[in-house]
Structure 1
Amino acid sequence: MKHYSAQSKESALQKMMPPNNIAIAQLSIEMGIGESTLYNWRKQAIDKGHLVPGDGKNAEQWSSANKFSVVLETASLNQAELAEYCRGKGLYVEQVSAWRNACIDANANVKEQEKAFSTETKKDKKQINQLEKELRRKDKALAETAALLVLRKKANAIWGEAEDE
């Protein structure tokens, strides 16, 4: 098992981070480090709370978690600091603002969603009750028909077939 220096690990992580966003497969070829090692390093960095997409995607294709991380990192920054942060990460201030607004709006319609869900639930319960009532009715009718057939067979066995006169 190869051991890599902290410097090469840090270099690889920097290349995975914005603005470079080099895909792990490409980075593996460039640096001569196994893909599994790079994936492991990326996982460790993410577990530590670092923003490391490393998937070769542009910022708009990042996962929600990565976008949310950027929003959290930039929440306390003023405009100048935000602009500097965005330049360092290869982002646009407008992207971060849009992501922030999306995070804020994520819970905006909770009451409306709960009301719609409640209405839908009531409607579903009503339909379930109707279907269960119809099923009970049909079960009773089926049981009655089965009883009549059994009685007819018993009557035929006792008295024989009915003769036509």
Structure 2
Amino acid sequence: MIHTASLDEEARSAWCRENGVYLAELDRWRAQASESLADPSPASGSSKAERQSRQEIRKLQRDLARKDKALAETAALLVLSKKLEAIFHESGDE
């Protein structure tokens, strides 16, 4: 959009043909960008929501890491107990 802003109608049409974009899409994108820049009020609310989302994501990542460590520890203990059982089971048969 930035590249096409300085172009005249003919050059913009040529650019659209080269890049596989319809002129109507380009106009719609320009309108959406203008609306987004003109109305800053939703951005302040979304930043609070984004901040809460990031906090929730960090909390979930910490929880997942904790559970992953616990699972790894449990798996290691299980492997060690199986090895210990195999060692003492063999020595008991001899």
Normalised by the shorter chain, which TM-score bucket?
0.5 to 0.7
- What corresponds to 1:132 in structure 2? 65
**Counterpart-to-counterpart distance in 2, 1:142 and 1:99:** 53
Q: Do structure 1's residue 123 and structure 2's residue 88 form an aligned pair?
A: no
After superposition, the C-alpha distances for 1:34-83 in whole angstroms (9 at most, x for unaligned) are xxxxxxxxxxx948x2233315956xx24159736xxxxxxxxxxxxxxx
Matched, 1:51 2:8: yes
How many corresponding residue pairs?
83
Offset of residue 109 of structure 1: 2.0
Contact 1:67 1:99 in 2 (8 A): yes
CA distance 1:104–1:137, shift in 2 (3 Å): same
Q: When you count helix as a share of all residues, which structure comes out higher?
A: 2
Please give the alpha-carbon distance, in whole angstroms, between the structure 2 residues aligned to 1:135 and 1:126. 14
Partner of 1:104: 38
Cross-structure match for 1:143: 76
Using the alignment, how far apart are the partners of 2:33 and 2:76 within structure 1? 62
Q: CA RMSD in A?
A: 3.3
Matched, 1:67 2:30: yes
| Structure 1 residues not aligned, in runs of 5+ | 1-44, 69-97
Q: How far apart are the structure 2 equivalents of 1:99 and 1:152?
A: 68
CA positional deviation for 1:130? 1.3
Please give the secondary structure, in 1, of the residue aligned with 2:41. Answer: coil
Moved over 3 A (4+): 55-58, 64-68
Length-normalised TM-score, structure 2: 0.66
Q: CA–CA distance in 1 between the matches of 2:73 and 2:33? A: 59
Which amino acid in structure 2 is aligned with residue 67 of structure 1?
R
Larger Rg: 1
Could you tell me the percent identity over the aligned residues? 10
Q: Deviations over 1:92-126 (max 9, x none)?
A: xxxxxx985x2412x33221111111000001111
- Does the 8 A contact of 1:51 with 1:66 survive in 2? no
